[in-house]
Amino acid sequence: MQKYNKNNDPISVQLDTKTGVFFPCPENVDRFLSDFPYMFQEIDSVQEIIKSGDRKIYEICYYPFLTDNSDMALGVTTILSGTVGKQYHMTKGHFHERNDQPEIYHCVNGVGFLQMMDSDGNYFSAPWEKGTITHIPPQFAHRVINTGEQPLIFVAVFHISAGHEYDFIKDKGFKFNYYEVDGKPKSVLNPNWR
Number of residues forming the site for ligand M6P (CB under 6 A): 11
In eight-state DSSP terms, residue 94 is: B
Does residue 151 touch ligand M6P according to CB under 6 A? no
By CB atoms closer than 10 A (0-12, 13-18, 19+), residue 40 is buried
- Is 10 in a helix, a strand, or coil? coil
What binding mask, one character per residue, do residues 68-107 give for Zn ion by CB under 5 A, x or -?
A: -----------------------------------x----
Residue 117 identity (one-letter amino acid): M
Helix, strand, coil percentages for the chain (3-state, nearest 5):
10, 45, 40
150: left (phi over 0), alpha (psi -120 to 50) or beta: beta
* From candidates 49, 60, 116, 145, binder to ligand M6P by CB under 6 A: 60
Does residue 77 touch ligand M6P according to CB under 6 A? yes
- Nearer to ligand M6P (CB atom), residue 114 or residue 183: 114
Please name which of 147, 160, 166 lies closest in space to residue 79, comparing C-alpha atoms: 147
161: left (phi over 0), alpha (psi -120 to 50) or beta: alpha
* From candidates 164, 186, 188, 192, binder to ligand M6P by CB under 6 A: 164
Does residue 112 touch ligand M6P according to CB under 6 A? no
* Residue nearest ligand M6P, Cβ-based: 75
Does residue 89 touch ligand M6P according to CB under 6 A? no
Does residue 147 touch ligand M6P according to CB under 6 A? no
Q: What is the chain's length?
A: 194
CB of 71 to Zn ion, least distance (A): 14
* Residue nearest Zn ion, Cβ-based: 103
Asked whether 103 and 136 are in contact (CB, 8 A), the reply is yes
Q: Which residues bind Zn ion (CB under 5 A)?
A: 103
Binding positions for ligand M6P, rule: CB under 6 A: 60, 75, 77, 91-94, 103, 156, 158, 164
